[in-house]
Amino acid sequence: MSTRALSSTNLTPAVLIAKEEIEKRVRELADQLSVEYAGRELLVVGILKGSWVFLADLVRMMTVPVIIDFMTVSSYGASTKTSGVVKIVLDLRCPIENRDVLVVEDILDSGLTLKYIVDNLKLRKPKSLKIVALMDKPDRRRVDIKADYVGFAVPDKFVVGYGADYAERFRNLPYIGYIEENNE
Ligand code: IMP
Ligand code: MG
């Protein structure tokens, strides 16, 4: 996959998960979460930037009261390979001690990013801490971490859309797509 092909503005990624399929699955997750957290107030922590589209749809389909905060971590830069180094670039503004916390992530890949985030958040003593990931690439895992809720298990392809980017492009695609290798 060449950077030139991917950065072309008229390139259309192939559909992996259609818009309607995403909507149906996000609604199922929202229903499950609304049951799990019924009667409680949830602190939803979105991991920027990839989670924002998923988070926006998910919280609007949930029926429990939520407070929303964001965290930015860097792990990849503009490359598709993880550096293995995770750094908090923007921290939460809300204290999470004694709160029910739900971390929202776009993709669980090697797991390095979420493992770092979860270990860090646990030190702040939340009442509970769970993870929802829109996509999971289980074959790529390098550390021991699982999401409590997963939207879709996806193959080992570089995916874009519905918040996920390649070099900041394609986040606004309404579906989840991938770039076909023969576009090189
Ligand atoms: P991990 O630390 O390897 O689990 O990487 C997780 C982060 O890498 C995710 O939050 C995504 O932002 C990014 N990422 C991993 N795979 C992809 C992909 O296929 N497309 C776009 N971003 C990805
Ligand atoms: Mg991300």
> pLDDT value at position 182?
60
> pLDDT value at position 184?
47
Closest CA to 164 of 143, 139, 137, 134: 134
Regarding the beta carbon of 113 and ligand 1, being less than 6 Å apart is answered yes
Q: Does residue 30 have a pLDDT over 80?
A: yes
- What is 14-183's CATH topology? Rossmann fold (3.40.50)
Torsion angle of C-alpha atoms 74, 78, 84, 87, degrees rounded to 10: -10
Average pLDDT over residues 7-35: 91
The values of phi and psi at residue 58, to 5°, are -60, -50
Average pLDDT, the chain: 90
Cα 110 from Cα 143, distance rounded (Å): 7
Q: Does residue 120 have a pLDDT over 90?
A: yes
Residue 140 alpha carbon, nearest atom of ligand 1: 3
> pLDDT value at position 166?
92
Ligand 1 atom 16: residue of nearest CA: 109
Q: Candidates 1, 76, 136, 162: which one to mutate for ligand 1, based on the most atoms within 8 Å of Cβ?
A: 76
- The better pLDDT of the pair 79, 124 is held by 124
pLDDT band at residue 75 under the 50/70/90 scheme: confident
* Whole-prediction pTM: 0.91
Phi-psi region of 68 (alpha: psi -120 to 50; beta: other; left: phi over 0): beta
> pLDDT value at position 87?
86
Cα 164 from Cα 53, distance rounded (Å): 9
Q: What is the pLDDT of residues 77-102, one digit of tens each?
A: 555 555 667 889 999 999 999 999 99
Average the pLDDT over each of 31-45, 107-121, 170-184 and give the range with the smallest value. Answer: 170-184
- The better pLDDT of the pair 81, 127 is held by 127
Domains in the chain: boundaries: 14-183
